[in-house]
Structure 1
Amino acid sequence: METDGRGRPTFFLTEKLEFPPVENTNAEGLLAVGGDLSEARLLLAYQNGIFPWFNEDSLILWWSPDPRMVLFPHKIHISKSMGRVMQSNQFQLTKNTCFETVIDQCALAKREGQEGTWITEEMKEAYKKLFKRGVARSYEVWRHDKLVGGLYGIDLGHVFCGESMFSLESNASKFALIKLSEELARKHYKLIDCQLYTGHLERMGAEEIPRTRFMEFLKVG
């Protein structure tokens, strides 16, 4: 264990399957470094409000930011223009039919203010294994038999941990997020974990809540 330069500890994970308490993050939300992307560790991480996020040339970094960006499914915001899109036959939705393609497209998507992608080949392989176990899920958006958008994440049964979205046509990823929210609202899911703030998510109805409150939702089950 070392400090981050401001007196906060940085935990270096070993082969032992454990994480420190999320209260031990630094100001940016970094909790721990190292470990692996095994199925067991990833599941333990998500169940405890922790997620991996790192560059290809970096050690594995584990995060639990405070505040936490979340979307309560029943609070999804649908603009008038998006409402017209939803009522049209512009897009078609499938679920879990091409998970690998969705994660590949998310890795290729350009993000404002970011160089490269955190969806490394190692990350892809790890989440593909979770998909085969039925834990990771994808939503695919089609137009004229062409995949034009989608999202993927981890389904904990009462919380959906959103990982990434992509859109090759305007409104395609919004369509996927709205359809996901509507399904989760019907199934009485607590929330969608969006992890970090973006203006796009805020416009879709997401909001920041204290990590302590997020952890309470996470543990309700």
Structure 2
Amino acid sequence: MSQIIWLGPQDPFPDPLTHADPDPSVPGLVAVSERIYPGQLARAYQTGIFPWYSDNQPVLWWSPDPRMVLDPANFKCSDSLKKHLRHFCQDPESELLVDADFGAVVRACATSKRKDQDGTWITHEIMEAYTALHEQGHAHSIAVAHQGQLIGGLYCVSFGAMVFGESMFSYETNASKLALAALSAWCLQNQVSMIDCQQETAHLHSLGAAPIPRTEFLAKLQTSLNPSTIERPWTFNKTILAHWL
């Protein structure tokens, strides 16, 4: 059994294919670091690895097998959600805000209470690291607002033609689903064929996501990292939701 690698500031990430699951008791854990060093988060995503840990822990870097992903074409837009989408699109006081206040969306995700979960993995260090990615054009927020107040949303990471979903929040029914519907429609318009959802959950299953082998995910990731024709910055609004109506 190989050992889990401790990473220094300039150390490369291990290849998840050749250094997969060094400790069977924690499947998917590939490396550990004392903190998130500058530039490390971008390198991790392009290697198929992401951080997931809690306060007072070292930074834990993961590449699970299987990997939960959403093909945007398979997003499940139920009849009840379509009704909600139609009302949202017709309501002049409702808005879809893209990259308008990245920090507010991340903070909302961090403070949202979740079933069977104490605390949050979105630490202050995570907020700072993803904000730096946002400033570099590689992290994005999609917020759902009504009368100027945020009621739901998500944030994600993007490299090339690959999107990595991170976290969602919802203060009103279906608000986070509206954000995911918008992201899925945008992905379809821009030939993005996979949204990484990382961990398998019943909620993600209900929205159309499915697990695939790590080998398949990593192969798809490498082809998706090629230079893409996606326009930057992201500039879409709620009219993109018409795709599902």
TM band (smaller chain) = over 0.9
Distance in 2 (CA, whole Å) between partners of 1:94 and 1:12 is 39
User: Does 2:105 match 1:102?
Assistant: yes
Residue 49 of structure 2 aligns with which residue? Answer: 50
3-state DSSP class of the match of 1:85? helix
Residue 173 of structure 1 aligns with which residue? Answer: 176
Letter in 2 for 1:18: P
Letter in 1 for 2:99: N
Letter in 2 for 1:168: Y
Letter in 2 for 1:68: R
Structure 2 gap segments, 5+ residues each: 225-245
Distance 1:145 1:78, change over 3 A: same
User: Does 2:77 match 1:78?
Assistant: yes
User: Does 2:215 match 1:220?
Assistant: no
Shift of 1:35: 4.9
Distance in 1 (CA, whole Å) between partners of 2:179 and 2:38 is 26
Matches within 5 A, 1:193-208: 193-208=196-211
Residue 157 of structure 1 aligns with which residue? Answer: 160
Letter in 2 for 1:116: G
Matches within 5 A, 1:14-163: 14-23=8-17, 24-26=19-21, 27=24, 28-89=27-88, 91-163=94-166
Distance in 1 (CA, whole Å) between partners of 2:65 and 2:156 is 20
Distance in 1 (CA, whole Å) between partners of 2:38 and 2:85 is 36
Letter in 2 for 1:97: A
Distance in 2 (CA, whole Å) between partners of 1:15 and 1:40 is 9
Distance in 2 (CA, whole Å) between partners of 1:8 and 1:74 is 39
Distance 1:113 1:36, change over 3 A: same
Letter in 1 for 2:156: G
Residue 184 of structure 1 aligns with which residue? Answer: 187
Structure 1 gap segments, 5+ residues each: 1-6
Equivalent pairs: percent with the same residue? 41
**Contact 1:39–1:130 (CA<8 Å) still a contact in 2?**
no
Distance in 1 (CA, whole Å) between partners of 2:49 and 2:86 is 37
Deviations 1:57-78 (A, max 9, x none): 1000000000000001111110
Letter in 1 for 2:4: T
Letter in 2 for 1:66: D
Residue 10 of structure 1 aligns with which residue? Answer: 4
Distance in 1 (CA, whole Å) between partners of 2:3 and 2:37 is 24
Distance in 1 (CA, whole Å) between partners of 2:178 and 2:167 is 14
Shift of 1:170: 0.7
Distance in 2 (CA, whole Å) between partners of 1:44 and 1:29 is 17
3-state DSSP class of the match of 2:182? helix
Shift of 1:145: 1.6
Letter in 1 for 2:12: E
Deviates more, 1:90-99 or 1:190-199: 90-99
Residue 3 of structure 1 aligns with which residue? Answer: none
Letter in 2 for 1:141: V
Letter in 2 for 1:25: A
